[in-house]
Amino acid sequence: MTAKHVAIIMDGNGRWAKKRLLPRSAGHRAGLKRMISLSGHAFDVGVERLTLYALSEENLLRPKEEVDGLFDLFREYFPAQHSELKEHGIRLCVIGNRALLPADICERIDEAEAATRDCTRGTLCLALAYSGRGEIERAANLAVRGGRELTREEFSGLLSVPPVDFLIRTGGEMRLSDFLLYESAYAELYFTKKLFPDFTNGDLDRALKEFSLRDRRFGRVRS
């Protein structure tokens, strides 16, 4: 079975830079380049939706210089990047708390989402200023306002992405760090010590191969 919805916690940029005696910003730049190459590759090998954790709500509490550097990287690569996505038929969507993002970044996101809206080959979803708990809380508040109990299907529909098949975390830590908590209920988990800038397209292929060998039972027994 192939993984249709793959999510990646892109961890290890800082350590990658430190090992090379470079500033953390160099690690993020290397991470962004890797992210772009990996995204192109994932859709070539049959992934339909790729959700990438680029910035958590808590990451915004890092030193201002680092956070501003990440936004500058985003400004540098978008909108040039969105023309490329469109060319390859990839729809871009951004999830997370936009109220925490600078206004010009939100404008770029709106433009990129609008420009790629009709693309159908795949969906690249970037999580920026994202919190899995925050997302569940927002959905719960919406549900309460509706004034009646929702079915699981209806509640899931209030979240920003569908269920995750395969969740990869680079960088050696084994935790979810508030990423897609509800959507990963039955995700297969894959942890690698490779730092994100070192996680090659071949590494993704190997991870996807491992996914294809997993026995997904969703809590049931094989008949």
Q: Can residue 169 be called a binding residue for ligand FPP (CB under 6 A)? A: no
Min dist. Cβ of residue 170 to ligand FPP (A): 9
> Whole-angstrom Cα distance, residue 36 to residue 74?
12
By CB under 6 A, which span of 9-17, 85-93, 94-102, 210-218 interacts with ligand FPP? 9-17
Alpha helices in the chain (DSSP H): 13-19, 24-44, 64-77, 80-87, 103-115, 132-146, 152-157, 201-213
Please spell the DSSP secondary structure of 171-210, one letter per residue. Answer: SS----TTSSTTTTTTPEEEE--S-GGG--HHHHHHHHHH
Write the binding mask 120 to 139 for ligand FPP: x where contact by CB under 6 A, - elsewhere.
------x-------------
CA distances from 82 to 87, 108, 110, 116, 125 (A): 9, 10, 11, 7, 12
Buried b (16+ CB within 10 A) or exposed e, 86-112: beeebbbbbbbeeeebeeebeebbeeb
By CB under 6 A, which span of 69-77, 117-125, 183-191, 211-219 interacts with ligand FPP? 69-77
Q: What is the DSSP-derived secondary structure letter of residue 142?
A: H
The question of whether 11 is a catalytic residue gets the answer yes
Min dist. Cβ of residue 125 to ligand FPP (A): 12
Using CB under 6 A as the binding criterion, the count of chain residues that bind ligand FPP stands at 19
Min dist. Cβ of residue 215 to ligand FPP (A): 31
By CB under 6 A, which span of 67-75, 81-89, 141-149, 202-210 interacts with ligand FPP? 67-75
Our CB check for ligand FPP shows the closer of 109 and 139 to be 109
Q: Can residue 12 be called a binding residue for ligand FPP (CB under 6 A)? A: yes
Query: What are the residues whose beta carbons fall under 8 Å from the beta carbon of 112, sequence distance 6 or more?
Result: 78, 79, 81, 82, 85, 92, 94
Query: What are the residues whose beta carbons fall under 8 Å from the beta carbon of 115, sequence distance 6 or more?
Result: 79, 82, 83, 86
Q: Which of 7, 10, 168, 180 binds ligand FPP (CB under 6 A)?
A: 10
Q: Which of 6, 8, 42, 70 binds ligand FPP (CB under 6 A)?
A: 70
Our CB check for ligand FPP shows the closer of 15 and 88 to be 15
The question of whether 141 is a catalytic residue gets the answer no
- Sites of contact with ligand FPP (CB under 6 A): 10-15, 28, 31-32, 35, 54-55, 59, 70, 73-74, 126, 171, 196
Give the residue numbers annotated as catalytic, written as ranges: 11, 59
